[in-house]
Structure 1
Amino acid sequence: MSTSPLTSSIAAAPPARSTDTGTGAGRRGLPQGFSAWWQALPMSLVFLLFFLVPLALILMVSFWNYNEYELLPGFTLDNYASIFRGCSNTADWCVTLRTYWSTLKFGLLVWAITLALGFTVAYFLAFHVRSSTVQTLLFVLCTIPFWTSNVIRMISWVPLLGRNGLVNQTLQGLGLTSAPLDWLLFSDFSVVLAFVHLYTMFMIVPIFNSMMRIDRSLIEAASDSGASGWQTLWNVIVPLSKTGIIIGSIFVITIVMGDFVTIGVMGGQQIASVGKIIQVQTSYLQFPLAAANAVILLVVVMMMIWALTRLVDIRKEL
């Protein structure tokens, strides 16, 4: 069978080159995943310069020696040994263990109170406020204390809780007390109160965010199945809010464990904390000893964060 000249020319023509030029990295002969690494490079540099490098420097300085005038680069474990000196006696806790227990005590108390308050406020905003406008207004109202500095918010408690403050005058005026209550200010109570005032918002925000992502049909299904309000709360809302609870807990615990300003102001410089010890050591130019304390505190906090993240896979849930 004869073929036309057009058919013969088409058959003899070389195959056309593909118009798919691929990615820019492919055109330049670069690996296909190179563009992703290039995009992550700026944030990786920020993470390296402002997080990993300072931590490495603190760890390095913690092994140095020092005197009254200068730092002595080298490698020694004397700083860590001096921190735990006398802690082998189980009958009487050393200063370091008592200080860490005091700091941990504040962290746990503040965590429990902020969790109760934060969960309650977030639950009210997410499930009992129907209007999105009212939700926004109430949420902004919760952020008003953050419009001023932490120091001003702490100092504002002094005229309220002092011996001649508003609270003591009111209690005495009502005949509930015959003398001023000294434990209201410059005590563990005032420290916990200031912490709760300062950091409850760090618990409200992530829990509220988790609750707003809950499918409302699940709550309706639980109600249709005969579950009571408490059963729905415990078996549906709380499990689906675990991510927000864990994130808020990490925020509160890490901030409280390292805080020394609040404990110093509200405790009247009479309550010890790890952060306060580190601040005093740096003021006396004992930088290697302060660095060793900072490393130990970091290890303790990281262990607490690790324990919290075992309860839920945050990366999977977000």
Structure 2
Amino acid sequence: MVAVRFLGVGEPKPKRQIRIPLGLVSYLQATPLTLILGFFLALPILMIVIVSFWDYDFAQMYPDLLTMNYVETLGSWVTWKTYLNTLKFAAIVWAITLFVGFWVAYFLAFHIRTSAMQMVLFLVCTVPFLTSNIIRMISWIPVLGRNGLINSALVNAGIVPEPIQWLLYSDFAVVLAMVHLYTLFMVTPIFNTLMRIDKSLVEAARDAGATSFQILTNVIIPLAKPGMAIGTIFVVTLVMADFSTVQVMSGGQSASVALMMKNQMSLLQYPAAAANAVVLLVLVLLMVAGILRIVDIRKEL
């Protein structure tokens, strides 16, 4: 006997299922973020590259395809000196922030036993960064000025006969302010990396007879390299693009590439500033590529 089933009028029809390939699903999921990054990141960079080939005068810009802006940028000794000065700031600030940031992160990760106290002390480190960069920079002026706290203490103690001039409005003041501004960007990734280290590795090294220095150099520092690399990328890119710190803390006596671009834009020399921006971007990308070739940071992402 054959059973025949009749569908009633009120019974729903079976739904058709549309199967999308897994590869296409991944592309669909990445499409919104790709569009956002393309519109707000890739498109502005592309526009800067295009403008860097334009001609200009004191009145307006003229769409063109000229290499004059790059020739003037790369052919000027003043520009090369400005780039070298920016690289000097980046190298000094990177070295100091790496040293300070590593030991702060190391203290929080290995010498503070409870997680609650680690978070409390880490939040204490972030308190100064709740204010703007300008306020933090200006706060150094009463400390480093000719009649500031440090000079007054040194003169009153008889250590120096007169106030020290180079404490403020100098390269020293620029480096000090940048270290103050960007140390947290080194502390955070290193602290995150150190917190992921299995403490049993340290205990095993100690049980094997390794000294504290050997544990530090052979276990902790190699495992902390990804965090150091991420912090290096943060600090170097921020220093290379900083113009306000150089302008305020040097009193106009030092120069940087970002400050030079800012001055060019104030004079309506947008194509020249765009050419400098492209050169600076290429330089930073080469530095980041070199860091990524040395250290694999994918395990931290």
State the match for 2:44 in structure 1.
Answer: 54
RMSD: 1.5
Measured in 1, the distance between the counterparts of 2:297 and 2:255 equals 33
Note the C-alpha offset of 1:317: 4.5
Name the structure 2 match of 1:228.
211
Shift of 1:82: 1.1
Match of 1:258 in 2: 241
**1:137 CA drift (Å):** 1.1
Bigger relative contact order, structure 1 or 2, given CA contacts below 8 A and separation 6+? 2
Question: Which one of the candidate residues 79, 82, 95 is aligned to 2:78?
Answer: 95
| Percentage of pairs with the same residue | 53
Equivalent position of 1:116 in the other structure? 99
- Tell me the secondary structure at the aligned position of residue 166 of structure 2: helix
Deviations 1:82-128 (A, max 9, x none): 11235xxxxxxx11111111000000000000000000000000000
* Structural mapping, 1:1-318, within 5 Å: 27-28=17-18, 30-86=20-76, 94-318=77-301
State the Cα distance separating 1:143 from its structure 2 match. 0.2
| Counterpart-to-counterpart distance in 1, 2:235 and 2:300 | 20
CA–CA separation in structure 2 for the residues paired with 1:189 and 1:317: 34
Following the alignment from structure 1 to structure 2, what is the Cα–Cα distance between the partners of residues 251 and 274? 17
Give, in whole Å, the separation in 1 of the partners of 2:45 and 2:135: 31
Structure 2 segments unaligned to the other structure (5+ residues)? 4-14
Whole-Å separation in 2 of the counterparts to 1:204 and 1:148: 18
Q: Deviations over 1:13-50 (max 9, x none)?
A: xxxxxxxxxxx9x9325433222211111111111011
Q: Which amino acid aligns with 2:245?
A: T
SS at match of 1:49: helix
Using the alignment, how far apart are the partners of 2:300 and 2:109 within structure 1?
19
Give the Cα separation in 1 of the matches to 2:300 and 2:99. 22
- TM-score, length basis structure 2: 0.93
- CA contact 2:193–2:300 (8 Å) conserved in 1: no
Aligned residues: 290
C-alpha separation in 1, matches of 2:299 and 2:248? 40
Q: Which protein is bigger by CA-based radius of gyration? A: 1
User: Aligned letter for 1:66?
Assistant: Y
3-state SS of the aligned residue for 1:33? helix
Instruction: Give distance in 2, aligned partners of 1:132 and 1:215.
Output: 15
The separation in 2 between residues aligned to 1:286 and 1:169, in whole angstroms, is: 44
Q: Shift in Å at residue 178 of structure 1?
A: 0.4
C-alpha separation between the residues in 1 aligned to 2:97 and 2:192? 16
Amino acid paired to 2:242? D
